[in-house]
Structure 1
Amino acid sequence: MPTKTVQIPTTDGLADGFAVLPEHGGRHPGVLMYGDAFGDRPTLRELARELAGHGYYVLVPNFFYRNGPAPVVDLPAHIGEEDRLPLIGRLMPLIEAHTAERVLRDADSYIEFLTAQPEVTAGPLAVTGYCIGGLLATRTAAAHPGRVAALAAFHAPVAADGPDSLRRLTAEVHFGHAATDITPEALDELNRSLDAARVGYTSEIYPGTVHGFTMSDTDAFDPAGLRYHWDRLLPLLARTLPNG
């Protein structure tokens, strides 16, 4: 898949990122993909390429751009459990500084950039995200009800802003939870909030998975969980996006 480095103008500067699009030219539905906190690396680009191969223009911004270009911390080729805690310790101040207000300002810029690309079909977009990126995707979808038709988030703290935030959603939703991230009782509470939003949704625990199960360069990776993620994500996009 063709991949290009991009610079996205925002109110606070330029956000670096990358875009992936199908090889056969033409215009394609747009998908804004938020990666996990570890950011741009071969595993994340592999996910974006796989999605683009199904006919989508995928934009992946570095949401920590205020702290420098991605990756903002040095990453090993494989992120083992012995690496995760020190890396998260270095990233946590960046996560805490990335307030909801910053997220929404940046989301406006990312959507404007994505919709302005000549290879992107006019009409609604989809937003996806992994880990902390799933929360950013959820905030983005809630803030842009007229522009985001589909929201998917995986092993993500999607309820971090409370149940009222989910009631602003109008997109069709899929939340794929790691078994270690949420209890059945908390899942029931989350799904009641989605019921109250009156949106179409699936929100479920992927059996046997741990946090980060989609990321093949970590000890958390679960091949069956990743396959199930595609089984849920691709039909969602096909139902909701023009020419999807």
Structure 2
Amino acid sequence: MIISQHQHDLETATGTMRTYRYSPIEPGNYPCLIFYSEIFQQTAPIARSAKILAGHGFHVLVPEVFHELNPIGTVLGYDDAGKEKGNNDKWTKPLEAHDSDTDALIKFAKDLEGCNGNVGAIGVCIGGHLAYRAALNPNINSAFCLYPTDIHSDTLPANKGNNSLENINNIKGEIHFIFGKQDPHVPVEGRVKIYQACQQSGINFQWQEVNAQHAFMRDEGERYDPALALLMYQQAVSLFSRTLA
């Protein structure tokens, strides 16, 4: 499918959030995907991933995940300065603010002309955590979480009792987890912790551990695995086509 590109400034509980939308140009009613980025916000690799997904028949929304902490349009570099700023933003913004961002995105999606009213979530790195976090919202039908960080460690700021993993029973839709076995950000003991919580909760989940490093989806840098990335796109499209139709 040929796609179009748009920008929207959505009002959230914590301020204006620039959101980038990629949509099929062919008229129709398509599902919406919220695509949560890495700490660097919408970099060129994130935009390319969003376009790939949109071309399979989805409206794809890419929010600026740290809009409260940066000027609109901020993109951090894949360098030490960008990592330091992005990680500081990650440790500063509370999960409750991400939750209210998700509420605003869901409302926008459901009001969007040409959307069939169904919404899914996908994300990479911290965005994988945010896709998982979005799945706690009953309006999210399904989620695809690629190497999600900080779920196992409970290191992101939140009010007492609002830990992501402790609230796993709130997930009503289907959720897929994908982890790289060589990813130091989510070591084996962390993956075991998340897997056991999924099993004990009885949620509808699928689990994959692949031979890959962190950020293997990012088509810049030495950790990129093109064949594995292609497989992940296919699996994500399959999940969302089935659950959001």
TM-score higher than 0.5: yes
Partners of 1:185 and 1:11 in 2: CA distance:
36
Q: Which runs of 5 or more structure 1 residues have no equivalent in the other structure?
A: none
Q: TM-score, normalised by structure 1?
A: 0.88
Partner of 2:146: 154
Partner of 2:122: 128
Counterpart pick for 1:41 among 40, 43, 51: 43
2:237 counterpart of 1:234 = yes
Partner of 1:117: 112
Structure 1 vs Structure 2 CA RMSD? 1.7
**Equivalent residue runs for 1:140-179 within 5 Å:** 140-142=134-136, 144-145=137-138, 147-157=139-149, 158-159=151-152, 160=154, 161=163, 163-179=165-181
Counterpart pick for 2:133 among 139, 151, 174: 139
How many residue pairs get aligned? The number is 230
User: For the Cα contact (< 8 Å) 2:216–2:223, is it kept in 1?
Assistant: yes
Structure 1 runs of 4+ aligned residues shifted over 6 Å read none
User: For the Cα contact (< 8 Å) 1:174–1:232, is it kept in 2?
Assistant: no
Partners of 2:125 and 2:208 in 1: CA distance:
15
1:184: Cα distance to partner?
4.3
SS at structure 2 position matched to 1:121:
strand
SS at structure 1 position matched to 2:215:
coil
Q: Which runs of 5 or more structure 2 residues have no equivalent in the other structure?
A: 155-162
**Equivalent residue runs for 1:2-151 within 5 Å:** 2-66=4-68, 67-73=70-76, 75=77, 79=78, 83=79, 85-122=80-117, 124-142=118-136, 144-145=137-138, 147-151=139-143
Q: TM-score, normalised by structure 2?
A: 0.87
User: For the Cα contact (< 8 Å) 2:14–2:97, is it kept in 1?
Assistant: no
User: For the Cα contact (< 8 Å) 1:178–1:205, is it kept in 2?
Assistant: yes
SS at structure 2 position matched to 1:214:
coil
Give the share of equivalent positions with the same residue, in percent. Answer: 22
Task: Describe the superposition over 1:32-84 as per-residue Cα deviations: whole angstroms up to 9, x where unpaired.
Answer: 110111111221111111111111111111011112123243x3xxx4xxx2x
Change (3 A) 1:12 1:187: closer
